[in-house]
Amino acid sequence: MKTILNLMVLFTTVQFVTCSGNDNNQYTELNKKMNQIAEQYVKLVLKTGQFDSDYVDAFYGPSEYKPVAAIKDSSAELSTLNSSVDKLLDELEKLGNYKADEIETLRYKFLSKQILSLKSKLFLIGGGTLSFDEESKALYDAIAPTHDENYFQNLITELDKELPGKEDILTRFNEFRKKFIIPKEKLDTVFNAAINKCRKITSGHIKLPADENFQVEYVTDKPWGGYNWYKGNNYSLIQVNTNLPVYIDRAIDLAAHEGYPGHHVYNTLLEQNLYRKRSWVEFSVYPLFSPQSLIAEGSANYGIQVVLPGEKRIKFEKEVLFPLAGLDSSKTEEYYSVLKLISKLDYAGNEAARNYLDGKFTKKQTVNWLMKYSLMPRERAEQRLKFIEKYRTYVINYNLGQDIIKNYIISHGGIDDNPQLRWGLFTKIISTPQTPSGLIVKQN
């Protein structure tokens, strides 16, 4: 029986021989064996979904893979699932000496990390506990950097000097922000303009299937701000939560993140390139609590800057979105310069989650921390706490995921001055099997 700890080091030692010209027989045999493992993996993910209804975020593969019977004996079934996962890991390990090309190697690493994460998910379902960092490593193949309170206090002191006004910084920031709320009756018009713009720019750089499409729905009472439900066949249902006021910057953020070139494009490309064309069935299922989510959230967040970098975004907002929302366009630059300052506090939310889930903060302390260091008004901080309780270490996927993908793209030359290369690298990441640890660039 493999323990969680030795599972975490497993596969770091497996080396694939990468070669460009394939030995066809071996290639076919490897492909066949990987396909068998992939099929088992999909079935195990679907079975695990019976224990946690949020686990399977999307599935558009063969319907006969779905479990037919409901769970009768949880502990017996969990132990069967565990043994099946161990067996799959053993089978994967045996393939370590095969020759493979680049994409096959990526596939192997992807499957290894996804199955290891599945093993950890079963451990958690069975009542196992891990610290915040152990859990994020086990489920998402990454650990977020740690910052102490002093780090955020210093940033707040700096912001305090730069933000105009006299009240305390939380009040000042939130009073300022109130001038940038999209009136409810204009939300749909503004959001449509934002998503159409992002779609148009994206389709100029990424070849999308002719029938790709989406629908937008406005919902309430959710712990998140927006959600993409990918239904397969190039179609997404995008939901926007309107419980709390929606600020103008959220229009582009959500349009790019949930739509173009974010989740909708990511899922469409994986479905077309890997599942339909190559018949790699592991790409017909999306287990939410897995390394795939770091790639999904990280690319969706970084995609905002790829589709509308800095000045281009401000210009479009000033000329189109602010007027559509009935907001004062002359304030666009000021609004975005304040948001840029605030973005330095991004990692404060991770610390709130880490301290809360590690039992160091009570609910009240967590809400207070979010108000103090993420400058969230109370109701937003309370919504965030609900998100942390439901999705736990998933929170790292957004900002750490974005940083991992951004650093990878920039270190490979995809800078502002070279948008073509940036789009190329971005497209490669979202249309091939990728793992968080495979994209981490060692910083000097």
CB of 29 to Zn ion, least distance (A): 38
For Zn ion, give the closer residue by CB, 332 or 397.
397
Nearer Cβ to Zn ion (297/403): 297
Closer Cβ to Zn ion, 224 or 235, answer by number: 224
Considering only residues 261 through 320, tell me which ones interact with Zn ion, judged by CB under 5 A. Answer: 297, 300
Closest CA to 296 of 286, 284, 306: 286
Strands (E), 202-258: 213-219, 226-232, 235-241
Nearest C-alpha neighbor of 149 from the set 292, 311, 348? 348
Q: Report how far residue 298's alpha carbon sits from residue 286's, in angstroms, rounded to the nearest whole number.
A: 15
Judge whether 20 and 100 are in contact, CB under 8 Å. no
Q: State both tokens at 160.
A: 């305090």
Report the residue number, 300 or 338, with the smaller CB distance to Zn ion.
300
In whole angstroms, the minimum distance from the beta carbon of 424 to Zn ion comes to 23
Maximum CA extent, the chain: 73
Chain centroid, CA 113 distance in Å: 16
Q: Which is nearest to 41 in space by CA: 99, 116, 126?
A: 116
Distances (CA, A) of 40 to 35, 74, 92: 9, 20, 12
Q: Which is nearer to Zn ion, 322 or 394 (CB)?
A: 394
Q: How far is the CB of 257 from Zn ion (least distance, A)?
A: 6
β-pairing, 17-18 vs 56-59, is unpaired
The single-letter code of the amino acid at 132 is F
Q: How far is the CB of 223 from Zn ion (least distance, A)?
A: 13
Which residue lies nearer to Zn ion by CB, 120 or 292?
292
Q: Shortest Cβ distance from residue 405 to Zn ion (Å)?
A: 13
What's the alpha-carbon Rg for the chain, to the nearest Å?
Answer: 22
At 17, which helix (H) or strand (E)?
strand 17-18
Tell me the closest approach of the beta carbon of residue 50 to Zn ion, in angstroms: 24
Q: Measured from the CB atom, is 108 or 266 closer to Zn ion?
A: 266
Closest approach, Cβ 243 to Zn ion, in A, equals 17
Q: Beta 213-219 vs 285-287: how paired, if at all? A: unpaired
Q: Which is nearer to Zn ion, 104 or 253 (CB)?
A: 253
| Site size toward Zn ion, by CB under 5 A | 2
HEC-encoded secondary structure of 59-87:
ECCCHHHCCCCCCCCHHHHHHHHHHHHHH
In angstroms, give the least distance from the CB of 214 to Zn ion.
14
* Cβ(163)–Cβ(341) below 8 Å: yes
Beta carbon of residue 297, minimum distance to Zn ion (angstroms, whole number) = 5
Closer residue to Zn ion in complex, CB, 61/298: 298
Which pair of structure tokens corresponds to residue 290?
């897995």
Give the residues across from 239 on adjacent strands: 217, 227
Residue found by looking up tokens 């969990």 in the block: 78
Pairwise CA distance, residues 373 & 335, whole Å: 19
By CB under 5 A, name the binding residues for Zn ion. 297, 300
